[in-house]
Structure 1
Amino acid sequence: MNDDWLTPAELTDALHPGLSGKARDAKIRLWQIRAKDGGWKSRRNLAGAPLARREGRGGGWKYHVTVLPQEAQLRLAAIRAKAAASDVPAPEKGTAEVWAWFDRQTAKKKDTARQRLRVLDQVENLVRGGLQKNSAVAAMADAHGIGARTIWGWYDMVAGADRADWLPHLAPRNQGRTATADMSAEAWAAFKADYLRQEQPPAEAVYDRIKDVAAERGWTVPSVKTFLRRVDREIPHACQVLMRKGPEAARLLYPAQERDRSHFHALQAVNADGHRVDVWKRWPDGDVSRPFVTVVQDLHSNKWLGWRVDKNPTATGVRLAFYDVFRKYGIPDLAWLDNGREFAAKIITGGQPTRYRFKVTPDELNGVLTELGVQVHWTTPRSGQSKPIERSFRDFCNHIAKHPALAGAYAGNSPMNKPDYRVKPVDLDTFLAVLEDGIKRHNARPGRRTGVCAGTLSFDQAFKESYERAPIRRATEAQLRMAMLSAERVTARQPNGSLHVEGNRYWDEFLTQHIGEKMTVRFDPEALHEPLHVYRTDGVYLGAAQCWEAVGFDSVDAARDHNRKRREWLKNNRRNAQLEQEMTIDQWAAMQPGMDEPEPPAARMVRLVTGNLAAARAMPAADPDHEDFDFEGFSRGLTLIAGDLE
């Protein structure tokens, strides 16, 4: 029951549902007494209309709800609202559509609708107070200085609508100027074909060409602004960007995926990419170019873990950058890599498919990351949003490439931003010193605004907190050697088996066993004074050979130290030799068995001797009187005679 005029019995039933019998009669009698004592029959509203009326001749009195005490009015309103809520039907499709339309309107139209709704609510309040609706509308028209017909027009706008949906129905429906200038369909098609292309011609130039053709073909052509307004009205902005600026620009209109990396722990996942530094550098061979830096970054903390510098992107730089990570921190589980060929090289990711190598052949050798159990993921080509390290490369420009120590060598990030001065290339040592210091400062800068650092920690601090609690796969010596660069085979030279690599000499005692043999070595080309790891050609590891540095010709201390080490080495070898001599040479000689003269064998056949041999006479005995005869001189004389005869 939603009638605002109630008898004491109806009022009792409304405020006390379910009450019956004497209790109900008592409540009815109580309301009758309150009506008599409160003078409800003589009460009137602001317009002078009575708030009590009698239902026909002999009927009982009905009272308007506004005469009730405030507590009774609130309770009655709550009961009615609860009953109405249970009977509310589901919103119709039209209701949702009208609210969606209202939400798209301007603030001015929405404010107008709210003002109209306030006037209608005031009219409804007067009606509920007992005033006739015509009188209520006239009173509100005078109060707001508008015509009564205007208010009745607003009622027409909400006719048949639920009170909860009055607001969108009261919004103005005027659309403003909707008339458009005449335009030939051919002219519109020509404008779209010429204007919506990646050369991005100005609209005025396109318009001039259309006017020239229209004059010959009789097209109707409005102003250039009319063309542009129609483009904005009928063609979505994303479609305009795609057609005039290309797919890369259109792709930027779609928001990038925000991926949370806080669930990783330190060193669990890394990403790697390269950056061409905007600095001219002179290399040891005299070449001048911009260096290329390969960086490995931790995804949990954003800390830069390893980096290497080279002239161009190479698999060697990638391998050595990961070698630094393995050596200092450990082996990651996951790696997101750029799609460059230096990362897709077989020595890095062999055994894992890439966009250059879509399948893995059975005889394909595993790369270093594959061998160490690092699962590789490939980022989207030309998509900096998918590589967090791309955003941190801004430090190369702001804090490294423009460092005061590199003044005069800055190349600019594009030909248009190139400084107007004569370039002074920086030497390798200076650049590496600035780079190392810049990376340390990049990792140590506090107040990083990332999900892990929370605006307070540095990358170093965030990495350390997680690293100390995380399960880390530490690299063994064999794994580190596997991650190093494989050099060309070298020969263990005479006379001591020393190895010569990149102008340096390496030697260790085990090399004396392989003099003249081919060896495979693994080493860090940027740390040539570190030990060189030596393998046989069949892959068997032999050991590490130390670098023997050249010293000054007149360095007495160095010569003395070298002689001391050589004496110790010889002494150790003599001691080893003595340990190997379990038997002296004399003892061994004494054990050699003696040999007896064999008896001559007996001849089975005897041959008769004949001829001159049988008649030969015995040589006469020497004459003692001729003992001083010079036989040697006589022999030389016969030789000379024989020579003359020839």
Structure 2
Amino acid sequence: MSLSDLPEDVRLAWWERELDRLHLEPGARDDAAHTAFMAQPAKARARAERKAAIASMLSALRVQGLKEGERFALVRKRFEDKGTSTASLKRLSKAVEGVDPINYAPALLDDYKVTAKRAEVSDDAWRFFMTMIRDAAPDWPLKEAWQRVRDTGRETGWAVPSYPTFYRRWAELDEAQRLEARLGKADAVKRLSLPAMRDKTSLMALEEVSLDGRTQDFWGRWENGSVSRPVILMLVDVASDTVLDWELAPSENAAATVRLVKRVCKSFGIFDTLYTDNGSAFAGHLVAGGNPHRFRNGAPKGLQPMGICQIMGIKLRFAMPGNAQAKIAERIFATLSRTVDDGPEFKGAHAGHAPGASPNSKVAPVPIETVRAVLAREIGRHNREAGRRSQGARGRSYEAVLRDGLAEREALGRPVRCPTADQLYLAGLIWKPVSVDRYGRVAANGWTYGGPETQEALIRFHGTGRQVLLGRDPDDFSAPAIAYDDAGDLICRDIQPVKRGAYGSADGIRDAARNRKAAREAVKAAAVANDYLDDDAYARATAALYASAEADETPPPKPRKVVGGRFGTPLRERAPKPEMGHELAKVIEEFDRAKGFDPWGVLSGQ
């Protein structure tokens, strides 16, 4: 029995079941037509795609030999009545004649264009609208701006259409125009600037380390009973995203930063470059001292304290102001902040996210030991969590990426440098330029340093106008100090602090006696080192000196004439006197002595 022998309703039911199995060769794709198709509005594309599906079904059924009526009946069952009238289906069939099925949708786009005339808007009205948006806050409602333009237009005669017309014109503006009006030029540029895409796999482990600090959102109680929002400082390896170490402090300060950098260098080795912002804790003398360029404290002038980066040989690179997203540590904070700050351990310890938020009576500060424990747990999990999909991780944990990276550095012959004991010692000191007094001592912050052992090395700087750089232990000012000159050369170590004793105490008397004894020994040694002549040799040298003076018979030069000082008008050359005979000059001289007589007037006939 053939399919055509079946009753029509049975035959149509069979074809309806087979519709999804029909195959129609797509043909060659017209790229230009599809590009124009994708430029059309979404609703126009949806209408064209529905027509294309109907046309594809009609073409596939025609290939199978079905009659027109049967084809149309099956289409109506699948697509219902909308757009499936006999006339509409005939138009569709004719429209796709000679067109490959893959290009049906572009060929069946609506062939009409919107001809509605846009309502007129006065130029001044639109400019007033844009100017108000420019001067208002970024979230100021557009409708409020339109209402003000409408009210103004009643007085000025502007053509002000409806709000939807204004909104459509606003929506048609370029993104740059809208952002510039809403946010201003600087923020618009920042929004539109495409971020640089960097490949972290080109970095070696510890080639670059990111430093940053963040104030936590909760309140903590410190060991001394004070309450504040703790600040976490963090060092992150850029190549592996591993948090190398962290420090919790009451504030973002340089001393805590130095401790953190020192610990990382001691635990992992000296990293190559420190990448940070220009915060005072990171760009001050303790960290960036000696760096040729930094944002804080201006250009280096005079004697510069040594920062930990200079001591360890770490390159220092600053992020541009306002470019926080460039720092890896900032991104780690974003990841950890919600995990830690909003955790159940800190329930009731929040007073708001604003930097100046103050706690009220309902805020219950968390003990700082709890804060440290939670941070240690979450940062450890961040480092050890496997299955990472960041650049170069390939499913490993951040710790594993760091460990493998350090091994690769060793294999390439670029191992991480290990700090020496001297570097670790110097890195823990604070530095201050000081002047040396006439006793070979120096003073800093109420403490005086210097004893007989270091007097000779220091006293040579007294009266020279040169300061020395004094390094002291910030945790123990009573520990010996160290001094460097302005060229960075070591002057002396173990500069002992001077401890003041009570008046009349035996300890003070013994200290004074020891100092006098040391001075006597130093003077005695100096006298030996000076190697003076003995008395006989000195007498012979003196006699030779006098003999050399007697042998010198050169007469002394005549004294030059001394001219008396004149304090009136400046000296001027006098006009030359007329020449005259010797006898005439004597006569004039006699007459000149006479009171009131003018010999020159007589000679001139006056």
Sort the TM-score into its range (normalised by shorter chain): 0.5 to 0.7
In 2, Cα distance between equivalents of 1:103 and 1:353: 55
Residue among 490, 499, 506 paired with 1:540:
490
In 2, Cα distance between equivalents of 1:548 and 1:453: 57
In 2, Cα distance between equivalents of 1:325 and 1:372: 12
Match of 2:352 in 1: 412
Match of 1:100 in 2: 38
1:393 alignment partner, SS class = helix
In 1, Cα distance between equivalents of 2:218 and 2:452: 45
Q: Which amino acid aligns with 1:535?
A: A
In 1, Cα distance between equivalents of 2:338 and 2:453: 51
Q: 1:192 to 1:452 in 2, by over 3 A?
A: closer
Match of 2:419 in 1: 475
Match of 2:60 in 1: 122
What is the CA RMSD across the aligned residues, in angstroms?
5.7
Residue among 454, 461, 471 paired with 1:522:
471
Q: Which amino acid aligns with 1:154?
A: L
1:267 alignment partner, SS class = coil
Match of 1:388 in 2: 328
Quote how far apart the aligned CAs of 1:169 are.
0.7
Q: Which moved more, 1:158-167 or 1:280-289?
A: 280-289
Deviation track 1:59-81 (CA, whole Å, cap 9, x = no partner) reads: xxxxxxxxxxxxxxxxxxxxxx9
Q: Which moved more, 1:106-115 or 1:296-305?
A: 106-115
Match of 2:428 in 1: 484
In 1, Cα distance between equivalents of 2:228 and 2:304: 35
Match of 1:157 in 2: 95
Deviation track 1:416-451 (CA, whole Å, cap 9, x = no partner) reads: 97654366888xxx64x4554344323311436452
In 2, Cα distance between equivalents of 1:276 and 1:420: 18
Q: Is the 8 A contact 2:385 2:397 kept in 1?
A: yes
Deviation track 1:462-484 (CA, whole Å, cap 9, x = no partner) reads: 54454455422111123334433
2:200 alignment partner, SS class = coil
Match of 2:163 in 1: 224
In 1, Cα distance between equivalents of 2:339 and 2:123: 57
Q: Is the 8 A contact 1:343 1:349 kept in 2?
A: no
Matched, 1:323 2:272: no
Q: Which moved more, 1:115-124 or 1:307-316?
A: 307-316
TM-score by length of 1: 0.54
Match of 2:235 in 1: 296
Higher relative contact order (CA 8 A, sep 6+): 2
In 2, Cα distance between equivalents of 1:511 and 1:409: 54
Deviation track 1:369-390 (CA, whole Å, cap 9, x = no partner) reads: 3564434433242233211211
Q: 1:530 to 1:397 in 2, by over 3 A?
A: farther
Quote how far apart the aligned CAs of 1:231 are.
1.7
Match of 2:277 in 1: 338
In 2, Cα distance between equivalents of 1:404 and 1:520: 49
Superposed, 1:448-467 pairs within 5 Å as 449=388, 451=390, 459-460=398-399, 462-467=401-406
Match of 2:244 in 1: 305
Deviation track 1:19-63 (CA, whole Å, cap 9, x = no partner) reads: xxxxxxxxxxxxxxxxxxxxxxxxx9969xxxxxxxxxxxxxxxx
1:522 alignment partner, SS class = strand
Q: Which moved more, 1:92-101 or 1:185-194?
A: 92-101
Q: Which moved more, 1:383-392 or 1:437-446?
A: 437-446
Quote how far apart the aligned CAs of 1:299 are.
1.6
Q: 1:122 to 1:302 in 2, by over 3 A?
A: closer
Deviation track 1:475-530 (CA, whole Å, cap 9, x = no partner) reads: 1123334433433478999x9x99998899999997799899998553452x4399
1:275 alignment partner, SS class = strand
Q: 1:335 to 1:395 in 2, by over 3 A?
A: same
1:534 alignment partner, SS class = strand
Match of 2:142 in 1: 203
Matched, 1:374 2:374: no
1:305 alignment partner, SS class = strand
Match of 1:140 in 2: 71
Q: 1:451 to 1:475 in 2, by over 3 A?
A: same
Q: Which amino acid aligns with 2:131?
A: A
Deviation track 1:355-402 (CA, whole Å, cap 9, x = no partner) reads: 679999999998653564434433242233211211222477557667
Q: Is the 8 A contact 2:52 2:104 kept in 1?
A: no
Q: 1:499 to 1:341 in 2, by over 3 A?
A: closer
In 1, Cα distance between equivalents of 2:385 and 2:59: 55
Q: 1:533 to 1:177 in 2, by over 3 A?
A: farther
Larger radius of gyration: 1
Match of 1:437 in 2: 373
Matched, 1:166 2:104: yes
Q: 1:468 to 1:500 in 2, by over 3 A?
A: farther
Quote how far apart the aligned CAs of 1:270 are.
0.3
1:219 alignment partner, SS class = coil
In 1, Cα distance between equivalents of 2:376 and 2:113: 62
Match of 1:192 in 2: 130
Superposed, 1:47-126 pairs within 5 Å as 94-101=32-39, 108-122=46-60, 124-125=62-63
Quote how far apart the aligned CAs of 1:190 are.
2.8
1:487 alignment partner, SS class = strand
In 2, Cα distance between equivalents of 1:361 and 1:548: 30
Q: Which amino acid aligns with 2:71?
A: M
Match of 1:261 in 2: 200
In 1, Cα distance between equivalents of 2:444 and 2:291: 30
Quote how far apart the aligned CAs of 1:183 are.
4.0
In 2, Cα distance between equivalents of 1:381 and 1:364: 24
Q: What are structure 1's unaligned runs of at least 5 residues?
A: 1-43, 48-80, 550-646
Quote how far apart the aligned CAs of 1:155 are.
4.6
Q: Is the 8 A contact 2:435 2:442 kept in 1?
A: yes
Quote how far apart the aligned CAs of 1:182 are.
4.9
Q: Is the 8 A contact 1:294 1:309 kept in 2?
A: yes
Match of 2:288 in 1: 348
Q: Which moved more, 1:151-160 or 1:285-294?
A: 285-294
Q: 1:118 to 1:441 in 2, by over 3 A?
A: same
In 1, Cα distance between equivalents of 2:435 and 2:316: 37
Deviation track 1:547-603 (CA, whole Å, cap 9, x = no partner) reads: 999xxxxxxxxxxxxxxxxxxxxxxxxxxxxxxxxxxxxxxxxxxxxxxxxxxxxxx
Quote how far apart the aligned CAs of 1:150 are.
2.7
Quote how far apart the aligned CAs of 1:253 are.
6.6
TM-score by length of 2: 0.57
